[in-house]
Chains A and B, each alone.
Chain A
Amino acid sequence: TQLLEQSPQFLSIQEGENLTVYCNSSSVFSSLQWYRQEPGEGPVLLVTVVTGGEVKKLKRLTFQFGDARKDSSLHITAAQPGDTGLYLCAGDSGAQKLVFGQGTRLTINP
């Protein structure tokens, strides 16, 4: 069974700080996606990374896919209260289904 482990599970920081969330697995994924979920809503796709070593930037968010395609990270610069939410990584195992990590619940305090 392919698993994705996210760390930390919970993170509470002050506005303006930087943070990094990790998504790790012992398995190789053909692609990896990051979603953000806000209370009462479904997850919304932020980015898809498909190439080992790939780095994608989305405003203050930087996503990286590990060279071996087994891990990924999400870095947020100068966090804002609007970044608060549950961040989920999801890997395409190639078996035609997505495997999700447990999520990182991020709280940005004003």
Chain B
Amino acid sequence: KAGVTQTPRYLIKTRGQQVTLSCSPISGHRSVSWYQQTPGQGLQFLFEYFSETQRNKGNFPGRFSGRQFSNSRSEMNVSTLELGDSALYLCASSLSRWPTGELFFGEGSRLTVL
């Protein structure tokens, strides 16, 4: 079956702009979580959605937001981009919420902020 699909794979933005990233989970998976990966901080949890509801949020400023649609597809948005937002943004889907099941990750969206 198809894996987790993230779009776009690469994008370049300038400071102050905003960006929207998309994630299509594996069919039947209702939980979608987002992570930011940087060389210095590693993988950091952004938020998790289940059945269109945000169930948990990491320690990121309000500029980072997300949503999930009825078909489980999810988007995350970053407004007023800063240089430090440059990172690989990973989406992961899982069949159940918790306890932790296997997370299936997409290939990520690599964001560069100039």
Contacts and interface: CB of A to CB of B under 8 A. Distances in A.
Interface of B: 4, 33, 35, 41-45, 48, 55-56, 58, 90, 92, 97-100, 102-108
A48 B43 contact: no
Interface of A: 30-31, 33, 40-45, 48, 88, 90, 92, 95-103
A47 B45 CA distance: 20
B45 A40 contact: no
B80 to A, nearest CB: 25
Contacts of A42: 4, 90, 92, 105-108
Nearest to B40: A102
Most buried by A among B43, B97, B99, B105: B43
A63 to B, nearest CB: 15
A47 B1 CA distance: 21
A100 B43 contact: yes
B107 A99 contact: no
Contact of A31 (B48, B99, B105): B99
Most buried by B among A44, A88, A98: A98
B87 to A, nearest CB: 13
Given A42-B105, A48-B100, 16 more contacts: A30-B99, A33-B100, A33-B103, A41-B107, A42-B107, A42-B108, A45-B103, A90-B43, A96-B48, A96-B55, A96-B56, A98-B100, A100-B35, A100-B42, A100-B43, A103-B43
Contacts of B97: 96
A97 B105 contact: no
Contacts of B4: 42
8 contacts: A31-B100, A42-B90, A42-B105, A43-B43, A45-B102, A48-B100, A95-B56, A100-B43
